[in-house]
Amino acid sequence: MNKILETIERIKDFINEYAYKIIISLVSACAILILAGFWLIRGSNLSTDNNGEPSGDQSNKVTSTESNDSGEVYVDVKGEVKHPGMYKLNSGSRVNDAIKQAEGFTKNADQSSINLAQNLSDEEVIVVDNYKNHKENTQNSFSNASSNNSEPGKIHLNSADTNELQKLDRVGAKTAQKIVDFRNENHGFKNIEEIKQVSGLGDKSYERLKDSVTL
């Protein structure tokens, strides 16, 4: 019995002597568990955020792609403009806007070689022809067409001047000039039926003139 009492007393003494150390150890263990739980929860939230939203370079790439798809086009302007090069424009822009970005036409530009009202698309190439070269090519085309389609006694729509055109039935000076203007604006007649598109002429005029003209 005395031994048991002595053992109990020793235990009490041990607890009294080391109680504060035990308490400190328990508090430290609890703090470590709390911190560990906090970091686990925080890490889980970060992982969820990353799955829902790209970060770093990936985020920049998405932004760049959305920008190109939704609001911008890149076009290459070449030929007779003051500053050829690649330009970035807003989606919905037209060829005229790209020409303005390139500081306009040069003095040798053939402005009829492009459609200023045309809508731009991404990666489009705009080439403004040289007026002199284009004029020479057009004249050669007219000449070749005339020689290939030469028919005795007929007036050549792609080469005749106003005086020659007035030899046609009921074609006066004004109508002859309209035919020449149409020819110049459209780079020549592609077929005889196009004469119906000349202002003042139509189906009846075509029927009257078709046997008297050639390309």
**How far is C-alpha 150 from the geometric centre of its chain's CA atoms?**
45
Confidence of residue 1 (pLDDT cuts 50, 70, 90): low
Distance CA 100, CA 82 (A): 10
Structure confidence by residue, pLDDT tens digits, 133-165:
755 555 555 555 555 555 667 898 888 888 889
Predicted pLDDT of residue 100: 94
Structure confidence by residue, pLDDT tens digits, 116-140:
999 999 989 999 998 777 555 555 5
CATH 3.90.260.10 fits 132-214, yes or no: no
Q: What are the boundaries of each domain within the chain?
A: 2-53, 70-129, 132-214
Structure confidence by residue, pLDDT tens digits, 34-59:
877 777 777 665 554 455 544 444 44
Cα angle 137, 146, 214 (rounded to 5 degrees) comes to: 130
Mean pLDDT, residues 188-203 taken together: 88
Contact yes or no for 88/73 (Cβ under 8 A): yes
Predicted pLDDT of residue 66: 41
Q: What is the pTM of this model?
A: 0.35
- Residue ranges of alpha helices (H) inside 53-172 are 57-70, 95-101, 131-148, 162-165
- pLDDT exceeds cutoff 70 at 107: yes
Calculate the average pLDDT of the chain. 77
CATH 3.10.20.600 fits 70-129, yes or no: yes
Predicted pLDDT of residue 162: 87
